[in-house]
């Protein structure tokens, strides 16, 4: 999946596995509550959202299982690398997402973590899990496109 370049946006990490395992129905941008040492660690380009997901807890959305490593220069006020982090959205958006998660059996998957104008933002997708035959079909079409490109490049030479 080709990422669009946005001016003033610095991508920290991508969740490449998510597009293979899920169908994305809707994509939103959310803020995230972080401590100072977490932001400094992210500015170094470290962080992972590969196995993370978002859940609701008392009407608020939290990012679970994201990993931001410890910042080496921080001393006693360092953070917990695997702690839950609150997502910042409007109340209307939160209620809509919670309703879709609970009724339709969908899940919230982070796809991208980035800086936008100095603020850390996260792109989350309302997603539905793919079945095994869907994943096989994706692999088959990817292989066929690669083979087709090889054949065309050999014919052009």
pLDDT reported for residue 3: 62
Residue 65 DSSP class: S
Q: How many Å apart are CA 51 and CA 49, to the nearest integer? A: 6
Average pLDDT of the segment spanning 8-18: 86
Which residues are CB-contacts of 39 (< 8 A; sequence separation ≥ 6)? 120
pLDDT at position 4 over 80? no
Q: Please report, for the chain, the start and end positions of each structural domain, with discontinuous segments joined by +.
A: 9-130
Regarding pTM above 0.75, the answer is yes
* Domain covering 9-130, topology: Small Protein B; Chain: A; (2.40.280)
For 115-128, write each residue's pLDDT tens digit: 998 899 999 999 98
For 24-55, write each residue's pLDDT tens digit: 999 999 999 988 888 888 888 888 888 899 99
Q: How many Å apart are CA 84 and CA 53, to the nearest integer? A: 10
Q: How many Å apart are CA 104 and CA 136, to the nearest integer? A: 25
pLDDT at position 6 over 80? no
For 65-82, write each residue's pLDDT tens digit: 998 888 877 777 787 778
């Amino acid at each position: 999946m080709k990422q669009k370049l946005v001016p003033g946006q610095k991508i920290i990490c991508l969740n490449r596995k998510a597009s293979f395992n899920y169908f994305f129905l809707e994509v939103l941008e959310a803020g995230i509550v972080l401590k100072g040492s977490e932001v400094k660690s992210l500015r170094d380009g470290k962080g992972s959202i590969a196995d993370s997901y978002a859940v609701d807890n008392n009407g608020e959305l939290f990012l679970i299982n994201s990993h931001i490593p410890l910042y080496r220069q921080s001393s006693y006020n360092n953070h917990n690398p695997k702690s839950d982090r609150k997502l910042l959205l409007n109340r209307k958006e939160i209620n809509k997402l919670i309703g879709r998660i609970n009724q339709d059996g969908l899940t919230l998957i982070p796809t991208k973590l980035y800086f936008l104008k100095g603020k850390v933002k996260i792109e989350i997708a309302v997603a539905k899990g793919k079945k095994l035959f869907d994943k096989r079909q994706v692999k088959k079409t990817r292989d066929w496109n690669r083979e087709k490109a090889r054949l065309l490049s050999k014919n052009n030479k």
